[in-house]
Amino acid sequence: MTAPDPAAAPLLQVTDLAKTFGATGALLSKGVQVRAVDGVSFSIRAGETLGLVGETGSGKSTLGRLVLKLIEPSAGRIVFDGADVTALQGAAARQLRGRMQMVFQDPYGSLNPRMTVGELVREPMVVHGYGGDLMRTRLESTLREVGIDPRMAARYPHEFSGGQRQRIAIARALVLDPKLLILDEPVSALDVSIQAQILNLLQGIQRRTGIAYLFIAHDLAVVRHISHRVAVMYLGKIVESAPRDQLYSAPHHPYTKALLSAVPVPDPVLERGKTRIALHGEIGSAASMPDGCRFHPRCFRARQAGAEPGTQAASWRGLAMPTACLQQLPPFETVGAGHQAACHFARLEDRFAAPHAVQQPPALAGAA
């Protein structure tokens, strides 16, 4: 995989982006606020893929929709291709979509079943005022680019398989030659063998065109191959971000470690010896965030650290946990080259091996 130019200015720069929704249902009358995205910063360079990973409910789709200007941010700034696009609305925001497009998980839901493939892929060009000849050549070349025979353009989405439908959705997103594609779980609904084909397709397109991807997924296995860098999101915040190989070989955040311990390792010996790290309970709701570190109710590291001699601990539901974890939101700090993590213990993590490299649960640090 060719690396994008590290000296290049970012194509997309997102700073302190936030989105708060009013809660729905029973919580509506209580005035509860849902902090779906809560102060997120990241950048993507031309030709780069940033993998964005986190469980359902962590705020990934909201973040994607904010960047694409499908919804308005509550706070923060978005600079795209050298221009501040944060406040763009209406026609100006639609114009931006020529250069930035989104592909969704379910191509069936996002492709109008009453339109032919040709109409679906032509539609963005009609909206953006393309002429007849250009439209015809772009339609054919884009369908070829995604591996769909242009002679199939008169057919309807239901006449294609799931993988082919996702190719058609990708063609529709690519037809205006955008610089950035936001892919929201684009392969989650597909069989594993088809997933690999779509990932390879996306990589080939990136090599040829230099397009950048924000690739959203709910597990670390899917984004491993395609990403240059990976960001891990938990309850509205990015909790760890690193170059791909760094994140998979030396994760610092306990949440990343837990997610990674569930990813199969190709080496059968390592796979057998691997320790799975339990994620206690559910992700919880963005409408009622835990105090302190949002991950503390599920964090194995906080449980270990709470038992270490010398750690200032308090009782949480009968478990000893560091008071810092219970009371203070950890800062997002640098732990290595291009590597940041938000955990009070992140800087001590060289004492804790990556989960796929350890045979036993990590020893308590205080015992050393």
Ligand X SMILES: Nc1ncnc2c1ncn2[C@@H]1O[C@H](COP(=O)(O)OP(=O)(O)O)[C@@H](O)[C@H]1O
Least distance from Mg ion to the Cβ atom of residue 283, Å: 12
Quote the distance between the C-alpha of residue 37 and its chain's center. 12
- β-bridge partners, 334: 340
Single out the segment in contact with ligand SF4 by CB under 6 A; choices: 11-19, 95-103, 274-282, 289-297: 289-297
Q: What is the rounded distance in angstroms from the CA atom of residue 210 to the CA atom of residue 206?
A: 5
Q: Which is nearer to ligand X, 66 or 153 (CB)?
A: 66
112 near ligand X, rule: CB under 6 A: no
CA 278, CA 232: separation in Å to the nearest integer?
Answer: 17
Residue 105 engages ligand X in binding (rule: CB under 6 A): no
Single out the residue of 138, 244, 296, 356 in contact with ligand SF4 (rule: CB under 6 A).
296
Binding mask 4-33 for ligand X (x = CB under 6 A): -----------------x--x---------
What are the strands, taking DSSP E only, across 164-270?
180-184, 212-217, 229-234, 237-243
β-strands 49-53, 212-217 pairing: parallel
- For residue 335, state whether it binds ligand SF4 (rule: CB under 6 A): no
Torsion angle of alpha carbons 127, 130, 133, 137, nearest 10°? -80
Tokens 């539609």 belong to 123
> Which one of residues 47, 51, 59, 251 is an interface residue with ligand X (CB under 6 A)?
59
* DSSP 8-state secondary structure symbol assigned to residue 287: T
259 binds ligand SF4 (CB under 6 A): no
Binding to Mg ion by CB under 5 A, coded x per residue (else -) over 50-89, reads -----------x----------------------------
CB 54 within 8 A of CB 234: yes
Residues 170, 212, 293, 313: which binds ligand SF4 (CB under 6 A)? Answer: 293
Interacting residue ranges for Mg ion, rule: CB under 5 A: 61
